[in-house]
Amino acid sequence: MPSGVERTFDEDEIIVTKTDTKGVLTYANRVFLRVSALTEAEAIGKPHSLIRHPEMPRAVFKLLWDSLKAREELFAYVVNLASDGAHYWVLAHVTPSLNEHGQVVGYHSSRRKPERAAVAAAQEVYGRLRAEERRHDNAKSALDASWAMLQSLLDQNGQTYDQFVWELTNASAV
């Protein structure tokens, strides 16, 4: 479980994973295995939630799956949990993989090293969403409450989540 130790990776590196349409890992690159402290055998065939960090709000994952179901890409700041308890922040770019007939055959995630300032801003928002989720004892109402809060936070700034992410990203010029 989380040790509070933060792990980083190089700016030139990309963390890459592929999953099938159910979110089961079918490919993980060397950088993923290293920062997640996993062997290939431990990762492949497991659900992607293997590296889910308890501080990630459910609302962000809902946004992720909503986007993918709509066959849209999503950029998100995400904190992941390594098997040894360390955590690492990424700027994830998640896209559906289409075959030659335009059918979704799986999902692809490329992740870059984020800037500190962007992580701090995302952390602030996620902290509030998680605090809201913790006030509910079942997953459904926790998600509903955190989803509503995310929407109202974005509405206050007149932004979509995509615009929020890109404002942080362009400001820190990744």
Partner 1 sequence: MIRRGRGGDAPEQPVGEALAQIARVCESAAAGDFEQRVPRIGEEADAERARDAVNSLLDVTDAFIRESGAALAAAAEGRFHRRFLTRGMRGAYRNAAEQISQSSGRMSEDAERVEQAAQARLQLADELESAVLTVSEQVATAATEMGSSANGLADFARNAVGSAEQGLTTVTQLRSSSDQIRRAVDLINAVAAQTRLLALNATIEAARAGEAGRGFSVVASEVKTLATETSASSEEILAQVNTVQHAAGDAVRVLEEVTASIREMSRLVDGIANAVDGGPGALEGQAGLAQLAEVLRGEVNRFVSTARQ
Residues that bind partner 1 (CB under 8 A): 11-14, 16, 18, 27, 29-30, 39-42, 73, 75, 91, 93, 95, 97, 99-100, 105-106, 108, 110, 112-113, 162-163, 166-167, 169-170, 174
Which residues are within 8 A (CB) of 113 and not within 5 positions of it... i.e. 6 or more apart? Answer: 8, 9, 10, 11, 13, 90, 91
Torsions phi, psi for 66 (to 5 deg): -60, -45
Closest CB to partner 1 among residues 78, 142: 78
**Distance between CA atoms of 113 and 10, rounded to whole angstroms?**
7
**Distance between CA atoms of 5 and 129, rounded to whole angstroms?**
22
Q: How far is the CB of 137 from partner 1 (least distance, A)?
A: 38
How many CA atoms lie within 13 Å of 173's alpha carbon, on the beta-carbon side? 0
Q: How far is the CB of 11 from partner 1 (least distance, A)?
A: 6
Q: How far is the CB of 68 from partner 1 (least distance, A)?
A: 13
Closest CB to partner 1 among residues 38, 59: 38
Asked whether the beta carbons of 108 and 94 are under 8 A apart, the reply is yes
Q: How far is the CB of 39 from partner 1 (least distance, A)?
A: 3
Q: How far is the CB of 26 from partner 1 (least distance, A)?
A: 8
Closest CB to partner 1 among residues 97, 143: 97
Q: How far is the CB of 110 from partner 1 (least distance, A)?
A: 4
Closest CB to partner 1 among residues 29, 143: 29
Closest CB to partner 1 among residues 110, 123: 110
Element containing residue 155 per DSSP (H, E): helix 139-157
Closest CB to partner 1 among residues 32, 126: 32
CB atoms within 10 A of CB 79: 21
Asked whether the beta carbons of 75 and 24 are under 8 A apart, the reply is no
